[in-house]
Chain A
Amino acid sequence: MRPDKIRLGILGCGTITRLEHLPAALAHPDVDLIALVDSNTDRAHALAQSRSVQCRVSADYRPLISQLDAVVNALPNSLHAPVTLDVLRAGVHVLCEKPLAIKASDAEACAAMAEEQGLVLAVGMNRRFAASHKLMRLVLDEGALGSLKSYRCDYGGAFDWKSASGFYFSKALAGGGSMIDLGVHLLDSLIDWFGPVSKFSYQDDNWGSGIEANAILELQHSGHYGLVEGRIQVSRTFPLQNRLLVRGREAEAEVNADDHDALIVRRVIGGEQVSQTLRLPNFPKTSSFYKQLDNFVQSIRGTQKPEVNGKQAALVLQLIEDAYANARRIPEPWSEIPAGIATQPGKVMA
C-alpha cells in the first residue's frame, strides 16, 4: 500500500454509489476507502457487506472528516452544494455528483471556496470521460465535418432510475426534472465543444409547481467554430432517438447512446452515403466513473486538472436556471378539455 494513498469517504449510498462510485473506488490503486456515509446506515452497511468492504459506516460525515483527504458527494441534489461547501471548508477535496447545486450562485460559492482553500473541486460529468467526447473534439478540430450547421440532441425513455431515496421527483430535493438531471450532462458537453450560449428558447411540460418530464431547449452557441445552432430534447416519459447528431456542410457526426465510446461519421462520396465508426484503440476499457475518479485523484496529486470544475458547472447551471425562469409550456392539445363537466366548478356535496 502506498503511504500516500488518498483516504476517501463516499457520502450517499444510493444507486449511483452502488453501481459506479464504490466499484471505481475499490478498483483504484491509489484510493483507500475509509468510510461509507448515509443517513440510512442500514443501506450503507448492506452496501459495504455486498462488496465485502472493511470500512467505517456512519450516518454523518462530520465526525470522520479529519480522517479523510477527499470525498465523493453522491447525496441527493439539494445536499450537493451545502455539503460540498462544508467539506471544502474542513480542508477536504470533493468530487461532487452532478448537478453541483440547484442554484448557480451556490455552485459559484463552491467554486470560490475550493479556490480559496486551494483544494480540488471536481464535478461528476462522467460523459466527458467517454471516448466519444474526445473523438468529437478531434473531428471538430480537424474540420472533418466542414463548416458547422447545427446539432440535434435527443435523449429520452421511460424513467427507470431506481433511486434509493426517491428524491428525483421532489422539486425541493432534485431542483427540477429531466433538464437538471440529464440536460446538465448534455449542456456540459455541448458548451465544451461549441462554446458559450448566446441565445436560447426553452419550453417544458411542468404544469406549475411540479418538475418537467419533457423539455426542449433551442440554443445558439458562439465559440471557436462560430455560430452553431442546436436543439436539445429530453424526456422521462417517451422513448426518443437517444443520440446527438452534429451536422456540417460536408459530413455529420453521431454519438449514439448505445455506445458512448464510438463516433459515427457519415458523408456522401460519389453520390453514395458512407459511414465510418471512429474509435480510440488505446482508450482504456475502464468505466467512465473510474476515469472520472482517476482524474480527481491525479488532480489532487497535481498532475492533472479536474475535467469539469466548479466554475464550468456554475455556467451550465446558470443556463438551466435562466431556462426554468423563462420556460414556456409545451402545448399538450390532447390534454385540453372542451367545456363541460370537467371545467365546471364542483357541485356541493351532501
Chain B
Amino acid sequence: MSWLDGTVLVTGATGFIGGRICERLVQAGARRVRALVHSMHRAARIARLPIELCSGNLLETDSLRQALADSTVVIHCGLGSARGIVRGTENLLSVCREGKVKRFVHMSTAAVYGLTPPPGSEVEDAPLRLTGDGYCDNKWRAERAVLRAGQRGLPVVILRPSIVYGPYSAWSTRLIADLREHRVALIDGGKGACNTTYVDNLVDAVFASITNDRAVGNTFFITDGEAITWKDFIRVHMAMLGLKEELPQVSKQEAAAYYRNRPGVVAGSVKAAGRILRSRELRQLLLQIPAAERTLSALWGRMQSLPEEKQQSIRSRVGVLPKSQVALKNGFVIPDEITLATQTGTVFFSIEKARKILDYRPRILFTQGAALVEQWLRFANYL
C-alpha cells in the first residue's frame, strides 16, 4: 500500500509551505489529506482543495488527537506562538506516539543556527547553541523534542530549509512592495548568502523523507544547492518590475550605528518591540542604553505575562519574516534588524547529506523558480 492511500495530516497548512504541501499532496493523488487549521480565516488558499479542514490548535491536545485520528503520515509545519513552537510540537509528538504514525516529517529551519549562521554551520552535525533569538532558539528546542520522540520509536525526519520562496511567498510579495517604495538597500553589497529553497524542491524533499526509510532519525539541510546571494535574489525581483537603477548601499556597521543612536525609533511600539525581542544582536545593542533597557525589560516582561492568545496575536502581527525595511526621508535606507541579520550571513548550507541519503535532487533551478514566481505575481496582481 502506498503512503498516499493513508491519511496525511498537515499542520501549518494555511501557511505558504504547508499550503503548497497540501496542493502537491492532492496533485500526487493522496486519498485523504487533513489540514490542521488554527486561524480559519486564513484558509482561503487551501479551501480550494479537495481536502479536509480540521479546526484545531497545537496547544490543545484534544483537538490534535481528533485531527490525527488514523493518520499514518504527519507533516508538521505549524508554528503557533513563540512558546507554541516548542509546546505545540511536543503536544503533537505525544499524540502521534499514541497513534499509527509511520512517518513524522518536522519542518525545522536552517535558522536553528541563528539568523546569521556562524561559519562552520554548513553541515547538519555542526554544534548548535542558543542564539538569543526566540524564533531560532525555539525551533532548535522543537528539533530536540522531535529527536527525543525519534529515540522512543517514532519514525521522524527533520528538514531544515533556508529561504523558501515560490508563489505566495512573502519573501517575494514584500520585496516587490518594498522595491516599489524605494525601501530596499543592498547590505554590504548584497553579497550575503541567500540559500534559496524553491518551495517545490522542498516538497520533493518532504515526499522523499516519507518514502525513503533511510531518512528516519536524520536531519537534512534543504536548499536549491546554488550559491545565490541576496543581490541575485533582489535583482530578479527588480527585473520583474523593470527597475534598472542602482540600489542604495548600506553597510552592516552603518545600520547598527543607526539603531544604536536612535533606540526610540525601534523601541517605540509594542509591534517593533516584538521584533526586537527576537533579535539578540539588536537587543544587546539596545541593552547598553539605560533608557532602552528599561523600555525593553518592561515590554519583555509585559509580553511574557500576556495570555498565550495575546502573545500569539502580537506575534502574528509582527510575523516571522522581516517586515518592510525602514526608509528614511533623505533617501538613505536602513534595513530593519531582522533583514540586517538575515542578509549578512556567509554560510551556504550543504545539501550533500540530503543528496546521499534522501536522493534529493533540486529540480527547479533558481532561474526557473524565479520565472514561476513572476508568473504568479503577475496573475496575483503584484506586478
Residue numbers of A with Cβ under 8 A of B are: 156, 158-163, 166, 168-170, 177-178, 205-213, 235-241, 332-335, 337-338, 340-343, 345-350
Q: Is the CB of A206 within 8 A of B48?
A: yes
Query: Which of A161, A207, A209, A343 has the most chain B CB atoms closer than 10 A to its own CB?
Result: A207
Do residues A169 and B53 form an inter-chain contact, with CB atoms below 8 A? yes
A residues in contact with B1, CB < 8 Å: 348-349
Question: Which secondary structure dominates where chain B touches chain A?
Answer: helix
* Pair A207/B42 contact, Cβ less than 8 Å: no
Interchain CB contact under 8 A, A211 and B3: no
How distant is the Cα of A162 from the Cα of B5 in the complex, in angstroms? 34
The answer to whether B102 has its CB under 8 Å from any CB of chain A is yes
Bound form: Cα–Cα A163–B39 in Å: 10
- Please state if A237 and B50 are interface contacts (CB–CB under 8 Å): no
Q: Are A240 and B49 in contact (CB under 8 A)?
A: no
- Choose among B3, B23, B24, B48 the residue with the greatest number of A CB atoms under 10 Å from its CB: B48
Contact partner of B47 among A160, A177, A335, A341, CB < 8 A? A177
- Among A158, A206, A208, A210, which residue has the most Cβ atoms of chain B within 10 A? A210
* Residue B204 lies at the interface, judged by CB distance under 8 Å to chain A: yes
Q: Which residue of B lies closest to A167 (CB)?
A: B40
Within 8 A of A (CB), among B254-274: none
A22 to chain B, nearest CB (A): 21
User: Which size class do B's interface residues fall under?
Assistant: 35 or more
A177 and B48 contact, Cβ closer than 8 Å, known pairs A238-B381, A334-B372, A350-B213: yes
CB atoms of B28 and A346 under 8 A apart: yes
Q: Which residues of B contact A239 (CB under 8 A)?
A: 381-382
Are the CB atoms of A210 and B51 closer together than 8 Å?
yes
A347 surroundings in chain B (CB, below 8 A): 2-3, 211
Q: A180 CB to closest chain B CB, in angstroms? A: 13
- Residue pair A210, B48 in contact (C-beta under 8 Å): yes
Indicate if the CB atoms of A213 and B45 lie closer than 8 Å.
Answer: yes
A240 CA / B207 CA spacing, docked (Å): 34
Q: How far is the CA of A21 from the CA of B19 in the complex (A)?
A: 35
Shortest distance from the beta carbon of A44 to any chain B beta carbon, whole Å: 20
Is the CB–CB distance between A168 and B40 below 8 Å?
A: yes
Within B184-200, the residues touching A (CB, 8 Å) are 200
In the complex, the answer to whether B375 meets A334 with C-beta atoms within 8 Å is: yes
The answer to whether B24 touches A236 (Cβ under 8 A) is: no
22 pairs across A/B with beta carbons < 8 Å? A159-B44, A160-B41, A162-B41, A166-B41, A170-B53, A210-B46, A210-B47, A213-B44, A213-B45, A235-B380, A237-B380, A238-B379, A239-B381, A240-B381, A341-B208, A342-B207, A345-B2, A346-B2, A346-B207, A348-B1, A349-B103, A349-B211
For the complex formed, measure the closest distance between the CB of B275 and the CB atoms of chain A, giving whole angstroms: 21
Q: From the candidates A156, A207, A211, A350, name the one contacting B26 in the complex (CB within 8 A).
A: A207
* B28–A342 touching, CB < 8 Å: yes
A337 touches B102 (CB 8 A): no
Q: Residue of A at shortest CB range from B359?
A: A341
* Residues on the B chain within 8 Å of A162, using CB: 41
B210 CB-CB contact with A under 8 Å: yes
Q: Known contacts A168-B40, A341-B204, A342-B27; is A334 also within 8 Å of B373 by CB?
A: yes
B4 located at the interface, meaning its Cβ lies under 8 Å from any Cβ of chain A in the complex: yes
Q: Which residues from B are CB-within-8-Å of A342?
A: 24, 27-28, 200, 203-204, 207
What residue of chain B has the Cβ atom nearest to residue A238's Cβ?
A: B380
Q: In the complex, how many angstroms separate the beta carbon of A215 from the nearest chain B beta carbon?
A: 11
**Given known A341-B208, A342-B204, contact A205–B381 (CB-CB < 8 A):** no
Q: Contact flags (1/0) for B40-67 with A, using CB distance below 8 Å?
A: 1111111111110101000000000000
Contact A207 B4 (CB under 8 A): no
Chain B 5-41: CB-based contact to A (< 8 A → 1; otherwise 0): 1000000000000000001101111000000000011
Shortest beta-carbon contacts, A-B, top 3: A166-B40, A346-B2, A236-B44
